[in-house]
Structure 1
């Protein structure tokens, strides 16, 4: 068995698709009317569909998980992030862990937690 995808819930699927394209270069693999599969296995699910399926409210910024990306030139990434999405909500701006890895954490437009770190 192997993990195939990670699904996140979004309010505006087109806006989210563009966000992940702009910042991480993820391209559309499949658009299935409210369910988009992007490269690297990220799936965007329309909030209305997910809510109907679960029968429960969606809890944004639940801080229970995060998407993790690695970027060698993290300073250039931060510049692109701040130019493209100046109102982005940070959890923490650039920090350096005791083991030398640099990381930044922020929320996507739907409150999904993202971490970008330098390779270890």
Structure 2
């Protein structure tokens, strides 16, 4: 019955969000409604809603994205000078996933993982 899940994350500034996800992470814009942004890459889609009063230090927005080639993705992001979270370096986790994490401009935690 269920077919897909699309995370909705807060953003303070649509231009900064686009810059990060499109220019640094390689997503494409699907739609821009001014205060609501839809982006996608491969088979996933993320939505962002404007929350101008968001305090990034108090933001607990998170998304976990599975990938089929985590090593190449990690190397590509490093090459593109994307900052990896200091506590989220590429590593094999006890739960059987190889993962790394980063923070977007609004401190949404984006974790990429692959079954190991």
What TM-score do the two structures reach when normalised by structure 1? 0.70
Alignment of 1:5-24 (within 5 A): 5-22=6-23, 24=25
CA shift for structure 1 position 107: 0.9
Q: Is 1:32 the counterpart of 2:28 in the alignment?
A: no
Query: 2:108 matched to which residue of 1?
Result: 112
Q: Which residue of 2 aligns with 1:80?
A: 76
- Give the structure with higher Rg (CA): 1
Q: d(CA) in 2 for partners of 1:32 and 1:20? A: 16
1:71 counterpart residue number: 67
TM-score, normalised to structure 2, is: 0.72
Q: 2:93 aligns with which of 69, 93, 97?
A: 97
How far has the Cα of 1:63 moved from its partner?
Answer: 6.3
Q: Please list every run of 5 or more consecutive structure 2 residues that lacks an aligned counterpart in the other structure.
A: none
Alpha-carbon offset, residue 111 of structure 1:
0.5
Which structure dedicates a bigger proportion of its chain to helix? 1
Gaps of 5+ in 1: 52-57
Partner Cα separation in structure 2 for residue 5 and residue 27 of structure 1: 15
d(CA) in 1 for partners of 2:114, 2:81? 21
Aligned residue pair count: 112
- TM-aligned CA deviation for residue 90 of structure 1: 3.2
CA contact (8 A) 1:61 1:112 kept: no
Distance in 2, matches of 1:13 and 1:69, equals 21
